[in-house]
């Protein structure tokens, strides 16, 4: 069984994403939304740890509504997947549980 982790805080100001990455399993998924989308920038403090996770097979998603709102469309790392609320619903079904990190 696997967990979808949702993160809504910026890694530049909160340790939330770093904490999540420590306990994220390699069958789990990550969805960055609200201020969490800043975690998908190449400049993010957790960029290296995120790369390690993605290379181990974890899928990392960003919510397009929040990316567009913040003008980050051209600044995201190229190994994250963009999704919308329909996608968020699908992900919550695909994974067994949702852990909200806030």
Partner 1 sequence: MIFSLAIYAAPYSSQASDSAYRFALALLENGHSLYRVFFYHDAVHTASSLATPPQDEIHFTQNWQALAQKHNVDLVVCIAAALKRGLLNQQEATRYEKPAANLADGFDISGLGQLVDAAVMSDRLISFGS
Partner 2 sequence: MSSIPSKKLLFISRHAPYGSSLAKDALDAILAASAYDQQLSLLFMDDGVFQLLANQTANDIGQKSFAAILPVLTLYEINSIYVHYESLVQRQITINELVLDSVQIIDSAAISSLLAQQDQLLSF
Contact partners, residue 49, CB within 8 Å, separation at least 6: 18, 21
Helix (H, G, I), strand (E, B) or coil at 51: helix
Residues 38-77 that bind partner 1 (CB under 8 A): 65-66
Report, in Å, the least distance between residue 92 CB and partner 1.
Answer: 5
- 49, 36, 44: which is closest to 102 by C-alpha? 36
- Residue 89 touching partner 2 (CB under 8 A): no
Task: Copy the structure tokens of residue 74.
Answer: 């051209």
The footprint of partner 1 (CB under 8 A) covers 6, 8, 33-35, 65-66, 84-86, 88-90, 92-93, 97-98, 100, 102
The footprint of partner 2 (CB under 8 A) covers 1-3, 15, 19, 22-25, 27-28, 96-102
């Amino acid at each position: 069984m696997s967990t979808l982790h949702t993160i809504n805080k910026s890694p530049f100001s909160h340790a939330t994403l770093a904490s999540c990455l420590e306990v994220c399993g390699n069958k789990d998924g990550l969805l960055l939304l609200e201020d969490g989308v800043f975690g998908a920038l190449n400049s993010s403090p957790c960029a290296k740890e995120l790369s390690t996770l993605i290379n181990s097979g974890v899928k990392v998603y960003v919510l397009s509504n929040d990316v567009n709102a913040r003008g980050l469309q051209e600044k995201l790392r190229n190994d994250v997947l963009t999704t919308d609320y329909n996608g968020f619903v699908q992900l919550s079904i695909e994974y067994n549980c949702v852990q909200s990190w806030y």
